[in-house]
A and B are shown apart, each in its own frame.
Chain A
Amino acid sequence: MNIRILRILLFKEIQLLKRHPIVPKIIVVLPVMAMLILPLVANLDIRSVGVAVVDNDCSELSRCIVSDMAASENLVISGVFPRYDRALEMVERGDADVILTIPSNYSRDLERGLTPTLALSANGVNATKGMLGSRYAAQSSGATVSRWMKERAVYISSGLSTVQDFQTKQDVAAVLNLYNPTLNFRNYMIPALMVVLIIIICGFLPTLNLVTEKESGTIEAMNVSPVGKFTFVLSKLIPYWIIGLIVITVGLIVGWLVYGLVPVGNVILIYLAAILFSLVMSGLGVTIANRSSTILQSIFVIFAFIVIFQLMSGLFTPISSMPQWAQYATYAIPPRYFIEIMRAVYLKGATFCDLWRQYMALAGFAVMFFIVATFSYSKRS
């Protein structure tokens, strides 16, 4: 490998990047826009669950249940109906997510010491919303009923024994959420978004760069020159380290200025992971470009990789929810380690000792992709 040739090639690559009409804008504008807009969009919190109530009881208690739900922060009352089919129609139209049916004589049966049940039907089209929505509704109505029972007990001050049973059985637990005490979904998404940006920018750009050279024919000039394989591939990869670092820096600054989120751990750890990971992605991009002949072909292949990377790496859905075979498969997905590092350093303040396995895995992938990219490039077509 010749250092002088490498320097000249790098100079050429950077000049090309600077001269390109769109790429320099993408490197700065895309991260800024993504970091500004996407945290507003990427919100999986389940808020404003619409509840349609079928009130067959029409008592003081049933009205209490409805007004407590209307007052709670996650529930919205879509309407109170006398019949179930009217409430179901609300769900079918998408105006309500959960139907709460209060049976007739509900409060009378409770006073008599029977155990009448409330029925909740959740719209399961969106599984998460249906599940969480029915939980919120169950919690809210349960709280109302137990408070009502207590008030009745004080009021009547007879039948105290049953009511006290009701109270002691309810073991209260204090919940402490470490690292993200308000459970703000944004804090969870912002480190992940920076990962998405590096996946997209360091995956697409080198591919496009190399295939454009192929289509316009300038790569032929490179093929007849004495530049070695190793030097050539390195000159294609190194600019994307710098670009990866720019993307991460922009992400860190926007995250800090706009959302007030700064990494709890050491920033150097984030940069180290970003360097390793951008090498992995650009190595993959160069490999794909070496193997394809048209832009469309290379874009579709890298797109397939990016989709699988994003879905299987635990970005949006927890890895632990996957079946066992899929969990083993995620060990072969490089962004998995990068995401773990980003989230741990950003939110939990993890140190290198906590994360050395992830770094080793990323470094292994980086070396592997570099070697594959070098050997997939051949000067003879």
Chain B
Amino acid sequence: MSILLSVIKKEARHITRDARTMTITLFIPVVLLLLFGFAISTEVNDVRIATVSERYDCRTREIIEKLSHNPYFTFKGEAEYSDIERMLRRGEIDAALVLRGRDNAPEYQIITDGSNTNIAQTAAFYIENVLRSPEQDTVLIHTLYNPQLKSAYNFVPGIMGMIFILICAMMTSVSIVREKESGTMDLMFVSPVRPSVIVIGKLIPYFILSCILLVAMLCISYMLLELPFYARVINVAGLSLLYIILSLALGLLISSLVRSQVAALLVSCVVLMLPVIMLSGMIFPIDNMPYLLRMISCIIPARWYISAMRAIMIQQLPFQYILRETIILAVMTMIIISIAVRKTSKQK
């Protein structure tokens, strides 16, 4: 036991000694959460618009009035029809509204900058809403779970899924491989310390570091980002711990497969990071992917973690709704641990 403790102490010194890496590990998750919470929004809330009036009546005036007072638009003034193309090409405006026709038969044309599809679609929708008279609104829309439509809600679970892979898998595999490269691993293996103790002693400090990060991220999400706090936060913590163990096992597996630090980095980037960012549903919805990629996404642990976290963190559903995801993650963890242990013990 005291041997394990001293191995842990040695590894913890390794981590804390490199102050810059420590700062960055703590800095990345905090900055990511704050950026998503306060700076980045997928919502389109500032459409720069110009109008072309070929018809002067009170309806035209009324529409321009509405556009210039609407917080979702920045009114860039009147323009000539021939100038619109140039303004769009230079990126000075996002959309233009052309008012034509006679008194009784008004005609409208919306010209958008289709090079940004999301802005184009949303701008057309906003303008159509302005053109429509309010009496026609006979549909009442309200939003469940996220009434302010903050995009941070969707991203917090995704960021957590990414950070744990980064810290646990990447850092552990690199730290083990570094010892292999510099030869100190051999030194440890010829000492009377049992190999399993060395491996466990190397993993525990990273586990503790991840737990600190978990607490920090939960604090930021609940206090600064104002995610709805709920008694079931224990479920969130439990599921995250399972995922952390899974990521540690992945790191161990990678370290047993490669020989150099650069290779460990590249493998964890290509095999772990990229799929987590691209295929886990963190940014891009899984429903939109072709069939083959959707199948591949099923073997990515982060996919199950993120969808379960969305259910319990934001929708605040009870545990039975994430039973399937939890079982899948647990089975994956067991498989990876058994492979990693077999591979690592073979090397000695």
Instruction: List B residues 267-296 near A (Cβ within 8 Å).
Output: 278-279, 283-285, 287-290, 293
- Residue B222 at the chain A interface, CB threshold 8 Å: no
Is the CB of B118 closer than 8 A to any CB of chain A? yes
0/1 string, A333-364, CB within 8 A of B gives 1? 00000001001100111100010000000000
Indicate if the CB atoms of A318 and B24 lie closer than 8 Å: no
Q: Are the C-beta atoms of A127 and B144 separated by less than 8 Å?
A: no
- CA gap between A312 and B41 in the complex, in Å: 11
Of all chain B residues, the one with the shortest Cβ separation from A173 is B108
Flag if B154 contacts A354 (CB, 8 Å).
Answer: no
Name which of A10-18, A224-232, A244-252, A303-311 contacts chain B.
A303-311
Smallest CB-CB separation from A301: which chain B residue?
B24
Contact between chains at B28 and A94 (CB < 8 Å): no
Tell me the bound Cα distance from A321 to B36 in angstroms: 12
Q: Is the CB of B288 within 8 A of A300?
A: no
Residue A316 at the chain B interface, CB threshold 8 Å: yes
Chain A contacts of B154 at CB under 8 A? 125-128
Most buried by B among A116, A183, A323: A183
List A127-184 residues whose CB lies under 8 Å from chain B: 127-132, 134-135, 138, 141-142, 145, 166, 169-181, 183-184
CA of A129 to CA of B118, assembled, Å = 12
Interface check A332, CB cutoff 8 A: no
B42:A134 contact, CB within 8 angstroms:
no
A125 contact from B139, B140, B315, Cβ within 8 A: B315
Find chain A residues with CB under 8 A from B149 CB.
Answer: 124, 127, 130-131
Tell whether, in the assembled complex, residue B139 and residue A118 are in contact, meaning their CB atoms are under 8 Å apart: yes
B310 touches A170 (CB 8 A): no
Is A187 on the interface with B (CB-CB < 8 A)?
A: yes
What's the tally of chain A residues with a CB closer than 8 Å to chain B? 93
B53 on interface, CB distance cutoff 8 Å: no
| B2 CB to nearest A CB, Å | 29
Asked whether B44 is an interface residue with its Cβ less than 8 Å from the other chain, the reply is yes
Given the interface contacts A118-B140, A181-B114, A188-B115, does A321 sit within 8 Å of B44 by beta carbon?
yes
Provide the bound-state CA to CA distance between A127 and B283, in Å: 12
Which of the listed residues A37, A44, A91, A296 has the most CB atoms from chain B within 10 Å of its own CB? A296
Q: At the interface, yes or no: A104 with Cβ under 8 Å from chain B?
A: no
Q: Known contacts A125-B153, A308-B31; is A119 also within 8 Å of B109 by CB?
A: no
Q: Is A262 an interface residue (CB 8 A)?
A: no
Contacts of B121 in A (CB 8 A): 132, 183
- Knowing A122-B144, A135-B125 touch, does A177 contact B139 (C-beta < 8 A)? no
- Given that A176-B110, A179-B114 are contacting pairs, would A295 and B174 also be in contact in the complex, using a CB cutoff of 8 Å? yes
Contact pick for A115, options B108, B125, B138, B178, CB 8 Å: B138
Is B136 touching A170 in the complex (CB atoms < 8 A)? yes
Q: Is A19 an interface residue (CB 8 A)?
A: no
Of B31, B47, B113, the residue contacting A304 (CB under 8 A) is: B31
For the complex of A and B, 4 pairs with smallest distance between CB atoms: A124-B146, A180-B114, A177-B114, A173-B108
Show 18 A/B contacts (Cβ-Cβ < 8 Å), sorted by A: A26-B266, A42-B284, A44-B288, A47-B287, A118-B139, A119-B142, A123-B144, A124-B147, A125-B310, A127-B149, A169-B135, A172-B108, A173-B127, A297-B20, A301-B24, A326-B39, A329-B39, A348-B88
7 extra interface residue pairs, beta carbon distance < 8 Å, beyond A173-B131, A300-B21, A307-B28 = A119-B139, A135-B125, A166-B136, A177-B112, A303-B24, A322-B41, A323-B38
Using a CB–CB distance below 8 Å, which chain B residues touch chain A?
18, 20-21, 24-25, 27-28, 31-32, 35-36, 38-48, 85, 88-91, 94, 97, 106-121, 124-125, 127-128, 131-133, 135-136, 138-147, 149-151, 153-154, 166, 171, 174-175, 178, 261-263, 265-266, 278-279, 283-285, 287-290, 293, 307, 310-311, 314-315, 317, 321
